[in-house]
Chain A
Amino acid sequence: AQSVTQLDSQVPVFEEAPVELRCNYSSSVSVYLFWYVQYPNQGLQLLLKYLSGSTLVESINGFEAEFNKSQTSFHLRKPSVHISDTAEYFCAVTYTDKLIFGTGTRLQVFP
């Protein structure tokens, strides 16, 4: 069965600093990969996804993630974070028709 590991439960960072949220998955088959973001008291919103093609995918608010098949990783990065990026971030991988989620990483951005 598929599994997703988010190695950091919390990531504190100062505003304008770079950040990387790590995600590793276990799979022996082709997968689709996703990052979702959850702002306080809201549902999950799709941030970006990898389906095929270029291994580097970007979101509209400056995040990017790179699919690395050999390392089975899909780390999320942003070169300069903003206070408004404070949220919980979930990595997910497809398994048949279901998504398997990691346990989440809480990103807290300090001024």
Chain B
Amino acid sequence: DVKVTQSSRYLVKRTGEKVFLECVQDMDHENMFWYRQDPGLGLRLIYFSYDVKMKEKGDIPEGYSVSREKKERFSLILESASTNQTSMYLCASTNAGGRPYYGYTFGSGTRLTVV
């Protein structure tokens, strides 16, 4: 079964810490995405990547950065965690523009609490 794996289900970090959220997919997908999910706001796109060493800003990139050194791994970095970054973080991947189009496969999510 194809998988997107997020390394942590729950994380608690202190304000000001540098935080790494890891995501690995085993489907040889080109495209990978990071979302945050908050009640009443749905999913908001933080960053995405269409290829190794490539990244694009999503709708809410402030306070975040990403790294994609290998095709299967896409890391989200909180440079200096703040309490307003407490959220559920979801990683997703998909095949590139070829057909058929499968939609996204999501990881199980990382619930981050910043105290």
A contact residues vs B (CB 8 Å cutoff): 9, 32, 34, 36, 41-46, 49, 51, 90, 92, 94, 97-99, 101-104
Contact = CB atoms under 8 A, between A and B. Distances in A.
B48 interface: yes
A98 B104 CA distance: 9
A102 B40 CA distance: 10
B106 A45 contact: yes
B8 to A, nearest CB: 13
B91 to A, nearest CB: 8
A46 B31 CA distance: 17
Contact of A90 (B4, B33, B43, B50): B43
B90 A98 contact: no
A98 B48 contact: yes
Contacts of B35: 101
A57 B94 CA distance: 21
Given A44-B90, A97-B31, A97-B50, A103 B109 contact: no
